[in-house]
């Protein structure tokens, strides 16, 4: 019997085909994922339902959206920040736009604009912002808006506006708000002379390339002036004050306030 058992071949025990089952599970998962993606794309949740704009001041939200390349109903996942920034290039006052997605269907545009440092008065009565980069933004009209920056009343040399903008961008907002008008008043010896009319009644004379340093001392210098006396303050190397009431008696002030 032992010899016969040795001659009978042993039948190998068949194991379950795990690889086949794994493949089937993977295929089923992929199938359901594809079905879900198709259903999502066809559903309202895959569309842009609302576009919100934040941080804009010079442009309206409608203008920002119109130049963003975005439209309601477009694919929510097809919104790219680089494309929005490229589409908004014609808006010269916009420094940058970042895009935030909020499911379902909400796109938030966060706008960064160039700072307004002054206003350029046009001959036709328009009022355009002078930006920190030296550009006069003629795309927008501020003639009906509150004046919260200096007005450029007379500036015969427009090529010097970028220098003025660069200097004013370094002046503190508090001092900038105290300037009513700025005029370029060149002399035979210095073409960068400027005259500033302050809201407190004083007149400041200086040069463009010193405005960013000298003007920030203005509040401190004013405290050194006789109380209630208005006049012309010269801010060059050494501050001098000449009262309107007594122009023959200039007052020398401490340097740097």
Radius of gyration of the chain (CA): 35
The SS3 call for residue 243 is strand
In degrees, to the nearest 5, what angle opens at C-alpha 115 toward C-alphas 114 and 121? 105
pLDDT for residue 110: 97
Q: Is the omega angle on the peptide bond into residue 104 within 30 degrees of 0, that is, cis? A: yes
pLDDT for residue 236: 87
- The DSSP symbol for 244 reads S
pLDDT for residue 78: 85
- DSSP notation for 37-83: HHHHHHSGGGB--EEEEES-SSS-HHHHHHTTT--TTSBGGG--HHH
Q: Give the whole-angstrom CA distance, residue 26 versus residue 250.
A: 91
Backbone angles phi, psi at 208, to 5 degrees: -55, -45
pLDDT for residue 75: 85
Q: Give the whole-angstrom CA distance, residue 99 versus residue 70.
A: 11
Place of tokens 């000298």: 214
| Residue 44: HSE in the Cβ half-sphere, 13 Å Cα cutoff | 2
Q: Give pTM, 2 decimals.
A: 0.77
pLDDT for residue 14: 57
pLDDT for residue 158: 87
- The DSSP symbol for 171 reads S
pLDDT for residue 122: 78
pLDDT for residue 151: 94
Q: Which one, of 108, 110, 107, 106, lies nearest residue 97 by Cα?
A: 110
- The DSSP symbol for 136 reads B
Residues in the chain where the model's pLDDT stays below 70: 1-20, 31-32, 35-45, 248, 255-257
Range 188-195 contact pairs with CB under 8 angstroms and sequence separation of 24 or more:
191/157, 191/160, 192/160, 192/163, 194/164
pLDDT for residue 12: 57
Close Cβ partners of 238 (under 8 Å, ≥ 6 residues apart): 252, 253, 255
């Amino acid at each position: 019997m032992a010899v016969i058992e040795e001659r009978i071949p042993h039948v190998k025990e068949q194991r379950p085909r795990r690889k086949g089952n794994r493949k089937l599970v993977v295929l089923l998962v992929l199938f359901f994922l594809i079905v879900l993606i198709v259903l999502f794309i066809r559903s309202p949740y895959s569309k842009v339902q609302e576009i919100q704009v934040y941080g804009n001041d010079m442009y309206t939200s409608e203008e920002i959206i119109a130049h963003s390349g975005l439209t309601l109903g477009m694919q929510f996942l097809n919104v790219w920040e680089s494309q929005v920034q490229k589409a908004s290039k014609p808006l010269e006052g916009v420094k940058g736009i970042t895009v935030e997605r909020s499911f379902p269907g909400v796109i938030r545009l966060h706008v960064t604009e160039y700072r307004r440092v002054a206003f350029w008065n046009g001959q036709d009565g328009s009022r355009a912002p002078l930006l920190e980069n030296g550009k006069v933004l003629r795309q927008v009209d501020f003639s009906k808006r509150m004046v919260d920056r200096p007005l450029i009343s007379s500036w015969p040399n427009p090529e010097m506006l970028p220098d003025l903008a660069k200097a004013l961008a370094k002046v503190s907002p508090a001092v900038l708000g105290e300037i009513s008008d700025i005029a370029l008043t060149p002399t035979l010896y210095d073409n960068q002379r400027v005259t500033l009319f302050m809201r407190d009644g004083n007149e400041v004379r200086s040069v463009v390339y010193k405005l960013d340093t000298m003007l920030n001392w203005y509040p401190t210098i004013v405290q050194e002036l006789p109380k209630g006396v208005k006049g012309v303050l010269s801010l060059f190397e050494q501050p001098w004050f000449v009262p309107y009431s007594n122009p023959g008696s200039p007052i020398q002030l401490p340097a740097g306030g």
